[in-house]
Structure 1
Amino acid sequence: MKIWTPLVLLLVIVFAVVQAVRPLPTPTLKLTAQDTVSFEGGKPSMPWPGEGQAAMDVNGIGSFGTSGDQKPVPIASIAKVMTVYLILRDHPLEKGDPGPKIPVDAAAQKHYETGKPANESVVKVTEGQKITEYEALQAVMLPSANNIAKLLARWDTKSNSEDEFVAKMNETAKELGMKNTHYTDPSGLDKTTVSTAEDLVKLGRAAMENPVFNEISRQPSYKDLNGDKQNNFFGLVPTVAIGIKTGTTTAAGGNILFAAEKKVGGKTQTIIGAALGQYGDNGVANIDEVTNVTQKLIEAGQGALTAKAIVKKGDVVGEVEDGLGGSSPVVATEDVSAVGWSGLTVKLELNDQKGKTVPHTAKAGTKVGVLSVGDGKGGAIEVPVALQDDLTEPGFGAKLKRVG
């Protein structure tokens, strides 16, 4: 006893000290509020076109669904959305910055001279002129200039190769989850450049997140470097839609990838949709036909959107768990509404603030996380959550009893 008792006491003291100074587990957030919200009623009936295919959803909220067989079909000039998206990704611009001046090559001039008599979408440029990146993007998006789309593709690559740029387009399509999309040219004139409405909605969502793309997409017209006014082929901009792009060829029919907005529950929601393969009664590719289809889909989507109050400011929605058995409640810092439509169920999630972890100690009122309401994708409604009471470290007893 005389030998072992001091040793045991020493071990107990060492154990207690080690337990007390061990790094604490990282606190985590746990949702205690309901994890889903359902909107009463049946799913709204969308005015889907009787031919071709279509798809439509709301950023961060959910999908209205699709129509037609979602199989790859020619998409015409909607291909240019990927071209512009890539240029802005790899050569980013700030709002108000025209960007670098791009030399106009002989190929771009010749394309204009041969394309204009053939009624191809081109804008006038002359070899030796310099066009800013911003204006080049306007030319591709608004009057749908094939010659400028190809010029940008050549300018982007070190080898001055359109094929190299097309390879990048296909790589990016895979990254965006566009499983049924394949590009063979940067303008969409090739009928072998194909996609689906569902895939194009994914691209439209990603592209509209870029502020400069979003800005250009909303423009009804611009004046080019020759002083000529160039109009946006998408006639619903800016009164009904906020963009994105039309595309019409004999092989593709009439096509539109579109974006529209509606303010619901105090926040602006963005509808993204696509309608492909519209020909009309006479069987001829028809931009008016697809424009009518698009307007009806936008109006139906806007009409279906509604808000439902689910949490009031100050309501407990979760807790901070310290990893040692203790917890502290967190509350919503503002009223929270779920946005959706009849028949839709949306998810509630509680997550850390971007780039920040939950602290071990903090005063009451400190924002420690974000409550999101939607489909778990970008664009969901987000509201900060804060500590209801002071957050303190676990006590000595909790530290002493922890295992592992």
Structure 2
Amino acid sequence: MKLRSLLQVVALWACFIPALQAAEGPNLASVNAAVAWVGDEDLVFGKNQDRSVPVASITKLMTALVVLDSGVPLDEWLTFRERHTPAAANAYTRIRVDSRMRRSDVIRIALMSSENFAAYTLARSQPGGFDAFIEKMNTKAQELGMTQTRFVDPTGLSADNRSSAADLVRLVNAAYKHPEIREYTTTGYYRGHFRNPRYSLSFGNTNALVHRESWGVGLSKTGYLSEAGRCLVMISTMNGRKVITVLLDSLGTRSPMGDAGRIKTWLKTGASGKVAKAARRYEQERNAAYASADNGMAAVH
């Protein structure tokens, strides 16, 4: 083969290598994942994307969506009443019972700082009350075509709040239409002001990537429960396009951010990247646990 022809073949294969790698997808530490372009429900990449799993505080995106869709006034002052039912998990808060805050600010701290008492108060303050609000969350999920999704509380403290990565792409697309959600979820720091008595508290965003301009984060929500692992849903700019990233059930706090970086690199170069051995072991254990739970459910039915 002539040298010129050989070089042409090599160049041709060089063009195909990223495509071949892209077909394999990125290596991710997250056990369940989905990647899509904003405004599109078709996935660019999925990993166990239809598996229904606990989603922890990702729930709060639906809570905010239901509140905003209802049209209630955002400048209304809400009262943080003592819980009428026990929380499903640790619900520590710095907010004082019977203090008050504007609904817009309650939504903000529920989203950017994942404040559980704030999410609970949003649900309890809605017309119709707490139980009706949970029904509306599930109705909204059905309207969005989220077939693998069920909610039992507005905070995500219950492991019975379940969804799939593919379903959450639909939720993120719907939430992104609200400028308030885009603003509140990407607020880096916020000083919240309360009444009765008057006091203030500082809140920080639970996603470190919102502080990095290079990511162009347009929507963000994190979540964690022992049953759910570390979770992240995010809209960010990757290679000039707005991308939805859904990452569910990761081992550690850094794993979802590492996965987001691997997805960004994969979309640009086709390189799959590498995942730490500890994350691989975690993934194997979690997949085995999911399989066991599915088998148990099948046996019951």
**Corresponding residue number in structure 2 for 1:296:** 262
Counterpart among 112, 116, 119 of residue 142 in structure 1: 112
Q: Does 1:209 align with 2:216?
A: no
Q: Does 1:276 align with 2:256?
A: no
Corresponding residue SS for 1:270: strand
Say whether the 8 Å CA contact 1:53–1:197 is kept in structure 2: yes
Corresponding residue SS for 2:65: helix
Q: Does 1:170 align with 2:141?
A: no
1:208-227 alignment, distance < 5 Å = 208-225=176-193, 226-227=199-200
**Corresponding residue number in structure 2 for 1:234:** 207
Residue 121 of structure 1, CA deviation: 5.3
1:115-134 alignment, distance < 5 Å = 120=91, 122-127=93-98, 129-134=99-104
**Corresponding residue number in structure 1 for 2:237:** 261
Residue 199 of structure 1, CA deviation: 0.6
TM-score by length of 2: 0.73
| Counterparts in 2 of 1:288 and 1:153: CA distance versus 1, 3 Å | same
Alignment-mate amino acid for residue 287 of structure 1: T
Residue 242 of structure 1, CA deviation: 3.1
- Identity within the alignment, %: 23
Residue 167 of structure 1, CA deviation: 0.9
Say whether the 8 Å CA contact 2:38–2:235 is kept in structure 1: no
| Counterparts in 2 of 1:157 and 1:236: CA distance versus 1, 3 Å | same
Say whether the 8 Å CA contact 2:29–2:256 is kept in structure 1: no
| Counterparts in 2 of 1:235 and 1:92: CA distance versus 1, 3 Å | farther
Q: CA separation in 1, counterparts of 2:170 and 2:75?
A: 27
| Counterparts in 2 of 1:244 and 1:92: CA distance versus 1, 3 Å | farther
**Corresponding residue number in structure 1 for 2:26:** 47
**Corresponding residue number in structure 1 for 2:65:** 85
Q: CA separation in 2, counterparts of 1:153 and 1:304?
A: 44
Residue 295 of structure 1, CA deviation: 3.0
Q: CA separation in 2, counterparts of 1:181 and 1:214?
A: 22
Q: CA separation in 2, counterparts of 1:213 and 1:201?
A: 15
Counterpart among 219, 223, 226 of residue 247 in structure 1: 223
Q: CA separation in 1, counterparts of 2:93 and 2:265?
A: 32
TM-score by length of 1: 0.55
Q: CA separation in 2, counterparts of 1:219 and 1:140?
A: 11
Q: Which is richer in strand?
A: 1
Q: CA separation in 1, counterparts of 2:146 and 2:68?
A: 19
Note the alpha carbon deviations across 1:223-272, whole angstroms, 9 max, x for none.
011322100111111313333100011010111111102574xxxx3211
For structure 1, the residue ranges without an aligned partner over 5 or more in a row are: 1-39, 280-285, 306-404
**Corresponding residue number in structure 1 for 2:167:** 199
Say whether the 8 Å CA contact 1:48–1:54 is kept in structure 2: no
Counterpart among 152, 163, 166 of residue 122 in structure 2: 152
Q: Which is richer in helix?
A: 2
| Counterparts in 2 of 1:139 and 1:191: CA distance versus 1, 3 Å | same
Corresponding residue SS for 1:85: helix
Q: CA separation in 1, counterparts of 2:93 and 2:145?
A: 31
| Counterparts in 2 of 1:67 and 1:262: CA distance versus 1, 3 Å | closer
Alignment-mate amino acid for residue 185 of structure 1: D
Runs of 4+ in 1 over 4 A off after TM superposition: none
Q: Does 1:184 align with 2:152?
A: yes
Alpha carbon RMSD of aligned pairs, Å? 2.7
Counterpart among 100, 119, 140 of residue 76 in structure 2: 100
Residue 125 of structure 1, CA deviation: 3.0
Corresponding residue SS for 1:276: strand
Q: CA separation in 1, counterparts of 2:239 and 2:49?
A: 32
Say whether the 8 Å CA contact 1:123–1:148 is kept in structure 2: no
Say whether the 8 Å CA contact 1:260–1:298 is kept in structure 2: no
Say whether the 8 Å CA contact 2:30–2:247 is kept in structure 1: no
For structure 2, the residue ranges without an aligned partner over 5 or more in a row are: 1-14, 194-198, 271-301
Say whether the 8 Å CA contact 1:77–1:187 is kept in structure 2: yes
Bigger Cα Rg? 1
Residue 299 of structure 1, CA deviation: 4.4
Corresponding residue SS for 1:56: strand
Q: CA separation in 2, counterparts of 1:50 and 1:256?
A: 12
Q: CA separation in 1, counterparts of 2:137 and 2:94?
A: 23
Q: Does 1:57 align with 2:36?
A: yes
Residue 92 of structure 1, CA deviation: 6.0
